[in-house]
């Protein structure tokens, strides 16, 4: 009788330790991707801060294309909002999609601005413009890097969460939904923009 109780206690104990291990790993992986998002936030903020400078410099030269410039500023502002919503809950499907959409709009608006700037060689040669453009490209590369890291970490979390046996426990531990990756529309259009080709 005593033997049975002891064996039962041991089995329960061992199982308990395993449960603790799974819980802690889930928490660790989730914290990791949330921290990973913070890196994206830093770079995106840098990017959004550069855009008003870009628009101001362009304004002096481009007198007649007001809508294009305003569209850029509007897209930038809604992207800033999307970013703070996403930062509050990284990995949340709705927030990630909203940010992704806002970024897409911004890329489109900037693309149109570039097309317009083609017609102003003076603007292209402007020192300030060249500097801002180069910083923008560099920041975008860093955004891509941070986004790649974030997505790697989200994948790690999702894969662990979906594997057996954590898949059985994850829901009970408060890790019910998978985290969502952050996909940006391919900004190849930005890459081919004449900024770097000055």
Residue with tokens 């413009």: 129
Distance CA 18, CA 9 (A): 14
Which CB sits closer to other proteins, 34 or 98?
A: 34
Q: Which of residues 20-49 bind other proteins (CB under 8 A)?
A: 20-21, 24
CA separation for the pair 170, 22 (Å, rounded) = 8
Binding other proteins (rule: CB under 8 A), the pick from 70, 121, 125, 145 is: 145
- Residue 40 · residue 154 · CB < 8 Å: no
Q: Is there binding between residue 9 and other proteins (CB under 8 A)?
A: yes
Which of 13, 52, 171, 174 touches other proteins by CB under 8 A? 13
Return the exposure string of 128-160: e unless at least 16 CB atoms fall within 10 Å of the residue's CB, then b: ebeebbebbeebbebbeebbebbbebbeebbeb
Minimum distance of other proteins from residue 149's CB (angstroms): 5
8 binds other proteins (CB under 8 A): no
Residues near other proteins (CB under 8 A) are 2-3, 6, 9-10, 13-14, 17, 20-21, 24, 137-138, 140-142, 144-146, 148-149, 152-153, 156
């Amino acid at each position: 009788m005593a033997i049975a109780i002891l064996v039962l206690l041991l089995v329960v104990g061992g199982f308990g330790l395993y449960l603790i291990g799974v819980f802690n790993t889930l928490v660790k992986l989730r914290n990791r991707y949330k921290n990973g998002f913070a890196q994206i936030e830093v770079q995106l903020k840098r990017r959004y801060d550069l855009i008003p400078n870009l628009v101001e410099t362009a304004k002096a030269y481009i007198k007649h294309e007001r809508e294009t410039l305003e569209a850029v500023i509007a897209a930038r502002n809604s992207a800033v909002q999307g970013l703070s919503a996403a930062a509050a809950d990284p990995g949340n499907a709705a927030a990630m999609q909203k940010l992704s959409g806002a970024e897409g709009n911004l890329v489109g608006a900037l693309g149109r601005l570039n097309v317009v700037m083609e017609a102003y060689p003076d603007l292209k040669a402007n020192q300030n413009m060249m500097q801002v453009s180069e910083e923008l490209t560099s920041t975008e590369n860093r955004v891509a890097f941070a986004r790649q890291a974030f997505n790697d970490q989200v994948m790690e979390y999702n894969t662990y969460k979906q594997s057996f046996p954590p898949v059985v426990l994850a829901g009970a531990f408060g890790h019910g939904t998978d985290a969502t990756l952050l996909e940006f529309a391919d900004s190849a259009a930005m890459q081919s923009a004449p900024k770097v080709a000055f």
